[in-house]
Structure 1
Amino acid sequence: MTNDEPVLRTGDADKELEELLGERLDEFNSAATGVDEETDFSVRVTDRNGETIGGLTGWTWGELGGIELLWVREDHRHAGWGTRLLRAAEAEARRRGCTRMTLSTYSFQAPEFYARHGYREAGRLPGVPGGHEDVYFFKDLSG
């Protein structure tokens, strides 16, 4: 064994490693597709005091947009904020040239919500703790 032998380490979250991997994968993906790296966006709704009522994070990459996270504070749920956040994200994705959106949600979260908004189920991955599934959705924004 030599001193320059590679070392494999497992540990807690490593932000530096996450950044490095993201940069390298963006380079690889751009070279493979000819499309620049993905860019993130957010949508936030606040009350008059500036407290967050809800928000959404997403990304765009070429003609594809994605919803990463969507959350509405419990005391403002069922008041249409989820719909407004989702519509704002779709509008931002369209503004950036996207023709499709994708997302995943757990079966105990909001699959019915997305289906009501024109998202079609594309697949399910079982094995989420508690006997749940990860549900994948897709929407054509060009129509």
Structure 2
Amino acid sequence: MTALQFSVTETPTAEDLAVIGGRLTAFNEADVGPAERRLLAVVVRDDDGSIVAGVSGYTAWGWLYVQWLWVAEEQRGAGLAGRMLAAAETDAKARGCHGAYIDTFSPVALKTYRRAGYLPFGALEDFPPGRTRTFLQKRL
């Protein structure tokens, strides 16, 4: 048997990450079929062209994953998050998605996502310390 060497780093090379990601993708495709992963973003700009809000995520295996959702402080409270989620969901449905998921540790965002129809399905206590990270899903 060949001796194995472990290395732990906070600065992996792009090549190392590409090998790991590529091999996991190949394994998953052989196991469950292609993910057909596609990026998805909703960008909101003001009259000056500055970004004041946005959603970033991707679709894969029939699901929309909302990775980031941000609204500038001066734009909060006007329903912008819900409108961006609706736009992302509409695009995801056009791509054939049947569900969406998101996670947050912000109590304010949690209320927003619940208002948009997302339901909790799991939680991690003290992630970060003193908060609960909640995972939510929605059928599209």
TM-score higher than 0.5: yes
Q: Give the match for residue 46 of structure 1.
A: 45
Runs of 4+ that moved beyond 4 A: none
Q: Give the match for residue 116 of structure 1.
A: 115
TM-score by length of 2: 0.88
**CA spacing shift, 1:37–1:21, aligned 2, 3 Å:** farther
**Structure 1 spans left out of the alignment, 5+ residues:** none
Shift of 1:87: 0.7
Partners of 1:88 and 1:72 in 2: CA distance: 15
Q: Give the match for residue 87 of structure 2.
A: 88
Q: Size of the alignment, in residue pairs? A: 138
Shift of 1:6: 3.8
Partners of 1:33 and 1:93 in 2: CA distance: 20
Letter in 2 for 1:97: G
Partners of 1:26 and 1:139 in 2: CA distance: 25
Q: Give the match for residue 10 of structure 2.
A: 12
Show CA shifts across 1:77-130 (max 9, x none).
112211111111101110100011111111445111111111111011112133
Which sits farther off after the overlay, 19-28 or 127-136?
19-28
Q: Give the match for residue 103 of structure 1.
A: 102
Q: Give the match for residue 23 of structure 2.
A: 24
Percent identity between the aligned chains?
Answer: 32
The 3-state SS of whatever aligns with 1:118 is coil
